[in-house]
Amino acid sequence: MLPYSIRTYLLTFILISLVLFGFLGFQTYQQITMVNEVIDKDNHELALAELKESMRQLLSTGQDELEQLLEWNEVQQQLDESSFYVYWRDQRLKNAYQLASYIDSIELYDKNGDALAKLPYSVFPFVVPERKTYFKNNDGHYSLYLYSPIAVNHNKELAQYYQGNKNIKGFIGLRIDYLKALDQLAHFSHIKYGSINLPEITQEYITPEVLLDNVQFETIDNPYSNVLQTLVNHNLRHYFILLVILAALIFWFVIQFISRPLTSMERYINALRAGVDDSDFDSIIPRVRIKEIESLRRSLTTYQSELDNVHTTLDKKNAKLWHLAHHDALTGVFNRRAFEEDWQHLQELVEDQNISVSFLLYDCDHFKAINDTYGHETGDKVIQIIAESIHSSLRASDKLYRIGGDEFAAIILNTGLREINQIAERCNAKIEEYTFSRLGIKEPVKVSIGLAHNEGNDVINFSELHRQADLAMYHAKSSPQHLVQFSEEIDQNNSCLVSSRIVNAVLDSIKHNQNIKLHFQAVFNCTRKQVEYYEVLMRIQNDSNLIYPKDIFPIIERHSLEKELDFAVIQALRSCFEQQSIPENCGISLNLSAATLVRPNLYELFIPFLPYLSKHKFVLEITETALITHIQYANDNLEKLRSDGFVIALDDFGSGYSSIRYLANMPIDIVKFDITMIHDLNKNKRTRTIIQDTAKLVLDAGFQLVAEGIETEEIREMVSEMGATHLQGYLIGRPMELSLITEKK
């Protein structure tokens, strides 16, 4: 889900709040309206009650007025003497008696009910009607007519009031303007002033009840409900306006102090990342400065600055690291890693483009002997000089790689063969010119150069360049010019050595730790007269064939895969132990290369074998040359292994030089005379004596002595006489698979 901006959330929140408030306000308004309706209804009822009460009051007041009129002597006078009645009624009445303003007119009737004056304009009937109280519609004006009999003895204090016409002296009629009377007499609390209205009623004599039923009026609004509603409406409007203003303020505040600063921070960060100039930051920094944002911005700037410094430092270190990772420390030229990467890149380039590639492989002749003879320091200097010589013979654009101990490679693009040869010859000339005797080297130092050339974008041929140069270099060693260009003829004559099939099989086997086949050759204990242990000899299964060490080790050595080979063999042997393929009490002897011997985690490789040491003698065979390079590391590893129960054997004793010197300092238990030394027993007496004395020396020093190469009974007898404690050779037993040993057991 995509994130929404603060503005969107805020607007949504404000909108929801306003809608909610509006809904609540509407509900409140609705409820107030309902209450008002109830109040109005009650008000109407009360108004009706008031109207009824006013009617009652009017009738009562009318009767009182009649009573008072009866008390007036002049009314009696007119009944007794009506000669001047019209004058009295029309003139005197208006001026003399304080008639209420709502009383329109009075009429007097004789005892028979006839009006004292029957005038056409009279508003009263000429005869007293039966109904003594009624309303009448006079052109839209409703008047109340009240009639009362006048007793003969009207004064109640003087005489009793008699019923019946006999005692009626006359009648008095009163006409009251209904609305005017209401106006003066009634005080309505619930009827709006002036709103009482009477519709047309056609009846001649309208009873008060009928009149009341037809009265129309407007009720006075309940001031409290009106005030309340007005107040609520007013307040709701105000609160809504306030809410809107508040919302706007909050919106503005959040935008100004949160959203915009965050946006400006984002722009600022982007600017920092883009490397914008400091002077341009002013346009990014918001006008409203907030302390926390400013602090954050400063921190960011400082952090960015530090980050830049770190990046710069890292870049430098990376560059340095890359340089270190891709350059040979000793010579300064590109190393094997750089070579592998460039070779891969070059392969891709060749696929796409039509370029010629020349591959030169340089190898220092007899470098091992020089190193062994004159020491590593001298050997290093020789390598440096060779590298310098090769490098100086190349063009500036050409790259030189140290791909092995004494092996260099150069890749030259889009250059003709003739120029390539010139480059190679220049190299040889420079090396030849150098006076290596300054380093104490008496022997001549030569470099053999193998040249392979690929014209155009032949990818297949390109991938063969290394092998071809290798072959050429191999042949260059025996060539007077020490420079050989690869040809088909060379290829045909050296299929085994550099058979790509075998090489691939070996490399593949080592890489994937597969197809490793272990053969075991017995080592016979002369004292116990039995096989004490078996030396593990590795083969590589290549389809249906086995590749033997004579083919394997050159490849391993060339590719510096000694450690990987040892590791593969150790894993294969471990599997044999874990599968319990090794017979009980059957010892094992394992060869370790110099590279493996000095690796820091050598001990961890043999930890899985510790549980088996109680039932299996485990011998680790090392060579003299393995000890020479890092004797201290080798000693430390071997001591640790010996302390856990491993037995150390010095293999190929006598094949190197200064053997005796190392015996005293090496942590070894067994010395193995190699096959050449044993076969030299038959050489001559002198050699035999030296060998025998050496054997005695070894035996007297307390070492076990294993004699290799026991192939005949004669040799066996000789070595037995020599005092060898153990025998190994075809006569004792050929290397065989583990399953065969198990069967034999």
Partner 1 sequence: MPQRIFICVVLLLCVSIAQAKNDVVYKLSAGIEGVARYMPGEKTKPAIFILHGFLTTNNFNTILSLGQMLHENGYTVLAPTLTLGINRRDSGLACKAIHTNTVEDDVNEIADWVNWLVKKGHKDIVLLGHSQGSLKQLVYAAERKNPKEVKLIISTSLSYIDAFIEESEKQQLITSARQAIKDKNNQPETYSVAYCKNDFIAPANVYLSLVRWDKELVISAIDKVNTPLYVIMGGKDRYFDKPWQTQMQNTKAKVSIIDNASHFFDGNEEFDYHDKILSILDDNLF
Site for partner 1, rule CB under 8 A: 71-74, 76-77, 79-81, 83-84, 87-88, 92, 95-96, 153-155, 157-159
Cα torsion angle, 323, 328, 334, 336, sign: negative
- Least distance (Å) from partner 1 to the CB of residue 153? 8
Question: Cα–Cα distance between 383 and 399 in angstroms, integer?
Answer: 17
> Cα dist. 422→102, 392, 396, 476, 633 in Å?
148, 13, 15, 16, 45
- Least distance (Å) from partner 1 to the CB of residue 169? 8
- Nearer Cβ to partner 1, position 31 or 91? 91
- Least distance (Å) from partner 1 to the CB of residue 228? 49
Contact (CB, 8 A) for 408 and 387: yes
- Nearer Cβ to partner 1, position 151 or 706? 151
Contact (CB, 8 A) for 441 and 374: yes
- Nearer Cβ to partner 1, position 73 or 202? 73
- Nearer Cβ to partner 1, position 69 or 427? 69
- Nearer Cβ to partner 1, position 69 or 412? 69
- Nearer Cβ to partner 1, position 98 or 614? 98
- Nearer Cβ to partner 1, position 83 or 544? 83
What one-character DSSP code corresponds to residue 140? T
- Least distance (Å) from partner 1 to the CB of residue 75? 9
- Least distance (Å) from partner 1 to the CB of residue 93? 10
Name which of 358, 462, 368 is nearest 407 in CA terms. Answer: 368
Helix H, strand E, coil C: the string for 167-222 is HEEEEEEEEEEHHHHHHHHCCCCCECCCCCECCCCCCCCECHHHHHHHCECCECCC
Question: Cα–Cα distance between 317 and 567 in angstroms, integer?
Answer: 33
Contact (CB, 8 A) for 716 and 710: yes
- Nearer Cβ to partner 1, position 81 or 308? 81
- Nearer Cβ to partner 1, position 116 or 473? 116
- Nearer Cβ to partner 1, position 79 or 181? 79
Contact partners, residue 733, CB within 8 Å, separation at least 6: 521, 522, 524, 531
What one-character DSSP code corresponds to residue 680? G
Long-range CB contacts (within 8 A, 24+) of 113-122:
113/171, 116/78, 116/79, 116/82, 116/85, 116/89, 116/170, 117/82, 117/85, 117/86, 117/89, 119/86
- Least distance (Å) from partner 1 to the CB of residue 137? 34
- Nearer Cβ to partner 1, position 108 or 471? 108
- Nearer Cβ to partner 1, position 74 or 721? 74
b/e per residue, 423-455, with b = 16+ CB within 10 A?
bbeebbebbeeeebeebebeeebbbbbbbbbbe
HSE (CB half, 13 Å, CA atoms) of 729?
22
- Least distance (Å) from partner 1 to the CB of residue 215? 39
- Please spell the DSSP secondary structure of 124-139, one letter per residue: S-SB--S-SEEEEEET
- Least distance (Å) from partner 1 to the CB of residue 190? 41
- Nearer Cβ to partner 1, position 83 or 279? 83
- Nearer Cβ to partner 1, position 95 or 397? 95
Q: How far is CA 414 from the centre of its chain?
A: 49
Residue 543 Ramachandran class (φ > 0 left, ψ -120 to 50 alpha, else beta) = left
- Least distance (Å) from partner 1 to the CB of residue 73? 5
Strand partners, 146: 133, 174
- Least distance (Å) from partner 1 to the CB of residue 120? 20
- Least distance (Å) from partner 1 to the CB of residue 86? 9
- Least distance (Å) from partner 1 to the CB of residue 102? 23
Contact partners, residue 473, CB within 8 Å, separation at least 6: 361, 362, 363, 448, 449, 450, 484
HSE (CB half, 13 Å, CA atoms) of 68?
12
- Least distance (Å) from partner 1 to the CB of residue 56? 30
- Nearer Cβ to partner 1, position 80 or 433? 80
Element (H, E) at 537: strand 530-542
Contact (CB, 8 A) for 146 and 176: yes
- Beta carbons within 10 angstroms of residue 627's beta carbon: 24
Question: Cα–Cα distance between 330 and 625 in angstroms, integer?
Answer: 22
- Nearer Cβ to partner 1, position 89 or 190? 89
- Least distance (Å) from partner 1 to the CB of residue 46? 41
Strand partners, 171: 109, 149
- Least distance (Å) from partner 1 to the CB of residue 184? 25
- Nearer Cβ to partner 1, position 77 or 499? 77
Q: Largest Cα–Cα distance of the chain, in whole Å?
A: 204
Which amino acid makes up residue 227?
Answer: V
Question: Cα–Cα distance between 670 and 618 in angstroms, integer?
Answer: 12
Contact (CB, 8 A) for 104 and 123: yes
- Least distance (Å) from partner 1 to the CB of residue 166? 17
Residue 139 Ramachandran class (φ > 0 left, ψ -120 to 50 alpha, else beta) = left
- Least distance (Å) from partner 1 to the CB of residue 125? 25
